[in-house]
A and B are shown apart, each in its own frame.
Chain A
Amino acid sequence: MIEVLKPGLYTTLQDGGRYGFRSIGVPLSGFMDRASAQYANYLVGNDINECALEFVGIPPMLRFNVATQIVIAGSSQSILLDGISRNRGEVIMVEKGAILSFSSIKAGWRGYIAFKNGIDSQVSLNSQSQYKGITERLKIEKNDVLSLKLENFNSRVFKKYKYNSNFYNLNIVEVYKGPEFEFLSQEVKRQLLESTFTISPSSYRMATLIEENINGKILDIITAPVQPGTIQLTPSGKLIILMRDAQTSGGYSRVFQCSENAINLLSQKRPKEQIIFKLKSYGI
């Protein structure tokens, strides 16, 4: 069992996502930065979509009442196990009674702690990812007790896993044209592709928000499908980048669609960081 001494800013249980229920309006959820979370699971010997802890902004502090192995990936910060410094991407052997703590985050914005065999918690609609109305618990609280699965039922062997632990130092967000891109005026397109944008502190798991406004005439649409990575532009000129907890449909113009890499990158952008959008073609 693992005791939560400090929950951090907003720590949640996440897995690969809740597939199969979007047609009834249930968001996908799951790891915000899939690349880092899956890498941590891979290194600890789990199925890459196994349930792990996702922290954001301020990491948690944990006490282990069980011996296990963990891997930490994602954001960059000092990792201390009983005061001894450890590394990201290292398989850390944890002894019973050990305390895991972190310094404040130095780069990136979200970190993942993968535990050998994964965390045991309520499975709702085929997923452990915490989401309001779907799972009973919405996030990790102080004094929560986490238990680990006894076996790894899904263990798979991978040849090699490509992962660059500093990918989030980039500020170029790769996007495809969205369904409404062609209907935008030249002036709006120019602003979208030539401006630098600032990540808003109000960003959360449902959406990354942008501080700057786009000027020009922007129309609403008849409610249509959206998914993680859809970038919406509201009539008042606000840009909303939908993230993993996105609704399944929306009524704002869909100007861009992020690549999977771009969603992972955005998940690691902290408030006030700056980004630019770069068009990517489908290449058909």
Chain B
Amino acid sequence: MMDLPRIQRFGDRDLLVEWRSVISDHTHSCILGLVEFLNSCDDKGIIEVTSTYCSVAIYLSKMSNIELVGSLVKDWLAKEVNFVDSLPKRIIEIPVCYDQVFGLDLEEMSQALELPISEIIRRHTAPFYRVYFLGFLPGFPYLGGLDNSLCVSRKITPRILVEKGSVAIGGCQTGIYTFDSPGGWNILGKTPLSIFEVSHDSPALLSAGDFIKFKSISSEEYLNIERNINNGVYKNTAR
């Protein structure tokens, strides 16, 4: 039997639904289900809903009835408690060039992990990573599924600038920088894809519940894809 999450107030008029603090696929499925349910509720004054590993935040307008929304959530949870992975899944392939031109920390990681670079790349491209949620930077995916043998501590001195598109590992997490940003993660490579494009109708390429797979590409392929994106003829392979 799954523990029911706790529904609590979160400021003047918002609500927070929190599951036990354990990252699990089951909890994540419940969260995605609840978010989908809340996004389908019209006329309840729900402005927007965000989710993380174990929580859903429900942001409400002044016109909303907080108790009513709370009881809607409660009823949904009671009914859907056995609900499992019934939601459609997208798998998105992210091409990454692991050349050392881009993979600035591969050499250092290879020594620290005592693994050849080719093996780091093999293990990094093997899993399907689950997108738990987006945060930190606009469009930045919190991913689950990194091979434990690739865990490596953050750099002692963070870089002042990590370029947009850099694919990196910090601790036991892997991610893609969606903007140029300071950062302390170890850089393995770079994707030519724009993970967040503010001018697009849906600015974020990824969303919670997606799966991604990194695909190793050569620097020629990188330049090719970059050119196609700039000319507006690149088609991403979402399945």
Residues of A within 8 A of B (CB): 19-27, 124-125, 132-134, 176, 179, 221-225, 227, 229-230, 247-249, 257-260, 282, 284
A132 and B179 CA atoms in complex are apart in Å by: 10
Interface status of B11 (Cβ within 8 A of chain A) = yes
* Residue in A24, A125, A225, A260 whose beta carbon sits within 8 Å of that of B52 in the complex: A225
CB of B51 within 8 A of CB of A124, answer no
**Complex interface residues of chain B between 79 and 103 (CB less than 8 A to chain A):** none
**Residue B142 is within 8 A (CB to CB) of chain A in the complex:** yes
Supply 24 A–B pairs (Cβ within 8 Å), ascending by A. A20-B47, A22-B48, A23-B35, A23-B50, A23-B134, A23-B208, A24-B134, A24-B203, A24-B204, A25-B140, A26-B138, A26-B203, A125-B198, A133-B196, A179-B10, A222-B21, A223-B53, A227-B10, A227-B14, A248-B50, A249-B50, A249-B133, A249-B135, A284-B9
The answer to whether A229 and B50 touch across the interface, beta carbons within 8 angstroms, is: no
Residues 194-237 of chain B, each 1 if its beta carbon lies under 8 Å from chain A, else 0: 00101000011001100000000000000000000000000000
Indicate if B114 sits at the interface (CB-CB under 8 A).
no
Asked if B53 and A225 sit within 8 Å, CB to CB, the answer is no
Mark B1-45 against chain A: 1 for CB-CB distance below 8 A, else 0. 000000011111010101001010000000000010000000000
* Measured CA separation A176–B66 after assembly (Å): 16
Tell me the nearest residue of chain B to A19, going by C-beta.
Answer: B47
Q: How far is the CA of A27 from the CA of B59 in the complex (A)?
A: 13
Asked whether A224 lies within 8 Å of B11 as measured between CB atoms, the reply is: no
- On chain A, the residues within 8 Å of B142 by CB distance are 223
Report the contact-size class of chain B (Cβ under 8 Å from the partner).
35 or more
Q: Is the CB of A23 within 8 A of B48?
A: yes
Contact partner of A282 among B9, B35, B133, B138, CB < 8 A?
B9
**Cβ B48 vs Cβ A19 within 8 A:** yes
In the complex, what distance in Å separates the CA atom of A161 from the CA atom of B150? 58
Interface contact B11-A223, CB-CB below 8 Å = no
CB distance from A277 to the nearest CB of B (A): 15
Q: Is the pair B21, A23 in contact by a Cβ cutoff of 8 Å?
A: no
Chain B's nearest CB lies how many Å from the CB of A115? Answer: 26
Does B54 lie within 8 Å of A22, measured CB to CB? no
Q: Is residue B137 within 8 Å, beta carbon to beta carbon, of the partner chain?
A: yes
Which chain A residue has the least Cβ–Cβ distance from B70?
A284
Q: How far is the CB of A27 from chain B (nearest CB, A)?
A: 8
Among B35, B49, B198: residue with most chain A CB under 10 A: B198
Taking Cβ atoms with an 8 Å cutoff, the residues of B that contact A are 8-12, 14, 16, 18, 21, 23, 35, 47-57, 59, 67, 133-140, 142, 179, 196, 198, 203-204, 207-208
- Closest-CB distance, A148 to chain B (whole angstroms): 25
Complex contacts, B135 vs chain A, CB 8 Å: 25, 223, 247-249
User: DSSP majority for the A interface?
Assistant: loop
Q: Are A227 and B138 in contact (CB under 8 A)?
A: no
Q: Residues of B contacting A223 with CB < 8 Å?
A: 52-53, 135, 142
Given A23-B49, A125-B198, A133:B8 Cβ within 8 A:
no
Name the A residues within 8 Å of B59 (CB-CB).
19, 22, 227
- Closest approach, in angstroms, between the C-beta of B82 and any C-beta of chain A? 24
B138 touches A133 (CB 8 A): yes
* Nearest chain A residue, comparing its CB with the CB of B21: A222
The answer to whether B136 and A133 have CB atoms under 8 Å apart is no
Nearest B residue to A133 via CB reads: B179
Q: Give the docked Cα–Cα distance between A21 and B134 (Å).
A: 11
* Bound-complex Cα distance A152 to B23 (A): 48
Say whether B11 contacts A133, CB under 8 Å. Answer: no
Kindly state the separation between the CA atoms of A24 and B47 in the bound complex, as whole angstroms: 14
CA distance A24 to B10 in the complex (A): 20
Complex partner residue of A249 from B52, B67, B207, CB under 8 angstroms: B52
12 more CB-based (< 8 A) A-B contacts, given A23-B48, A222-B54, A247-B135 = A20-B47, A23-B35, A24-B196, A27-B138, A125-B203, A133-B196, A179-B16, A225-B10, A227-B10, A247-B136, A249-B136, A257-B11
Contact B138 A224 (CB under 8 A): no
Instruction: Among A25, A230, A259, find the residue whose CB has the most chain B CB atoms closer than 10 A.
Output: A25
Q: Output the least CB separation between A78 and chain B (Å).
A: 34
Contact B203 A224 (CB under 8 A): no
For the complex of A and B, the 8 pairs showing the least CB-CB separation, nearest first, are: A225-B57, A249-B135, A24-B204, A25-B134, A257-B11, A26-B138, A25-B135, A25-B138
Known contacts A23-B49, A23-B51; A257/B10 CB under 8 A: yes
- Give the complex CA separation of A248 and B14 in angstroms: 14
